[in-house]
Amino acid sequence: MMRRLVTSQGAGAPAEFDDWLLWPVLGLLMFGLVMVYSASIATAEGSKFTGNQSAYFLVRHAVFVVVGLIAAVVVFQIPLRVWQQMAPWLFVVGFVLLLAVLLPHVGRSVNGAQRWLPLGPVNLQPSELMKLFAVLYAADYTTRKLADMASFRRGFAPLAVVMLLVGGLLLREPDFGAFVVIVCIAMGILFLGGINARLFSALVVVLLAGFVVLIWISPYRRERIFGFMDPWQDAYGKGYQLSHALIAFGRGEWFGVGLGASVEKLFYLPEAHTDFLLAVIAEELGFFGVLTVIALFALIVQRASVIGRQALQLDRVYAGLVAQGIGIWIGVQAFINMGVNMGLLPTKGLTLPLMSFGGSGILANCVALAILLRVDYENRQLMRGITV
């Protein structure tokens, strides 16, 4: 069994890390670095804000990746029991940051959304950190409430109230995409923690109805839905982003037009280096480039699930729920971003994890995956009989 759970290193010594997790993560980070440069070069050269420097976004993204990797190395040293102790306090910090974003003259507004806190040369997006804090807090809450998971009042209701408060702040920004991801994280961890099946099914129905109401009462969300259903009806208005993303996919065909040769990134496709990075990948590297990205994300989610199950088998409930919660987060956000790029889902402001330009997202992703590697490391230590 040990042979299946660890890989070999050197002369048959068991590895300290899951190579099938570590290398896909590093691969996506490096691939993202290349594609962010390719997708942003025209925008950077044509903008006075960047000083017309073609490598402006590349340099900033490289700095974000380096900072994220350094943070990951530091975070990996912290035992899971410490994260469990800090989880409620981190959640409170995240809540306060979400409140601060909405304060006049404190939060920064871009394209009508107030989601950022200016910190000198960089902007902090609290919703990205809140995804991580939601994983840690929901796992801690579920671990403490395992005996009450069958009860709506004692098991589900307290966490639901807290998440609704967070959701209210996110919808005020507005950041509907982050709200959906955090709801999926909380519900997924509750499900894995053993919440009553009938209660869970009823809650899913209520949540779906709630999403429909939130979309219906918001004019700009309704417009996005109508634009998604037929982007060509108003290709220069509501369907502009999606129509150009679909053109990029169509031009890429099987093997793409070549790295750097995208036409859509030349001021046609908005947010090419952030929300629509996958469309540029599709145009330049084709079907096989997109398939490679999907396969790497699928491998990360699969390894998170396996590591979580191993932790649960070792009676490490909190660690197991954190690992699987991180897998849910990365999987759901990647699925939504890819679905938006391919025209399978309405347009949402969610980046592609580990790849899209953005400091807060890269930092949160690197820290989360370092915690996942720590769960795996502690599993291996315990299987060797070493106390962690």
Show Cβ contacts of residue 342 under 8 Å, excluding neighbours closer than 6 positions: 245, 246, 249, 278
Question: Per-residue pLDDT averaged across 298-322, rounded?
Answer: 96
Nearest CA to 248 out of 235, 236, 265, 231 is that of 265
Q: Given this model, what pLDDT does residue 376 score?
A: 96
Is the pLDDT at 322 greater than 90? The verdict is yes
| pLDDT tens figures, 126-158 | 999 999 999 999 999 999 988 887 777 887 888
* Omega before 158 within 30 of 0, i.e. cis: no
Is the pLDDT at 11 greater than 70? The verdict is no
Separation of alpha carbons 343 and 307, rounded Å: 33
Degrees to nearest 5, angle at CA 358 with 357 and 362: 100
Is the pLDDT at 367 greater than 50? The verdict is yes
DSSP 152: I
Is the pLDDT at 348 greater than 80? The verdict is no
Separation of alpha carbons 33 and 69, rounded Å: 13
**329 or 384, higher pLDDT:** 329
Nearest CA to 300 out of 78, 11, 100, 25 is that of 25
Question: Per-residue pLDDT averaged across 245-257, rounded?
Answer: 94
H/E element, 13: strand 13-14
Is the pLDDT at 333 greater than 80? The verdict is yes
Could you list the beta-strand ranges (E) of 85-197.
108-110, 113-119, 122-124
Q: What is the dihedral of CA 38, 39, 43, 46, to 10 degrees?
A: 30
Show Cβ contacts of residue 194 under 8 Å, excluding neighbours closer than 6 positions: 146, 149, 150
Place of tokens 């950077």: 44
**281 or 121, higher pLDDT:** 281
The letter for the amino acid at 236 is: Y
Q: Given this model, what pLDDT does residue 228 score?
A: 67
Place of tokens 């129509």: 243
pTM given for the model: 0.91
Is the pLDDT at 284 greater than 70? The verdict is yes
Is the pLDDT at 229 greater than 90? The verdict is no
| pLDDT tens figures, 165-209 | 888 888 888 888 898 999 999 999 988 888 877 778 877 787 778
DSSP 133: H
H/E element, 8: strand 8-9
Q: Find the helix packing angle between 19-45 and 277-313, rounded to 10°.
A: 160
Q: What is the dihedral of CA 319, 320, 321, 325, to 10 degrees?
A: 100
Nearest CA to 203 out of 163, 147, 144 is that of 163
Residue 104 has phi, psi (to 5 degrees) of: -60, 140
> In the structure, what pLDDT confidence band is assigned to residue 14 with cuts at 50, 70 and 90?
low
Separation of alpha carbons 80 and 371, rounded Å: 8
CB 272 within 8 A of CB 265: yes
**Distance set, CA 259 to CA 39, 58, 180, 266 (Å):** 10, 15, 33, 14
Separation of alpha carbons 6 and 306, rounded Å: 12
Nearest CA to 24 out of 298, 325, 356 is that of 298
**Distance set, CA 265 to CA 16, 297, 351, 372 (Å):** 41, 24, 16, 34
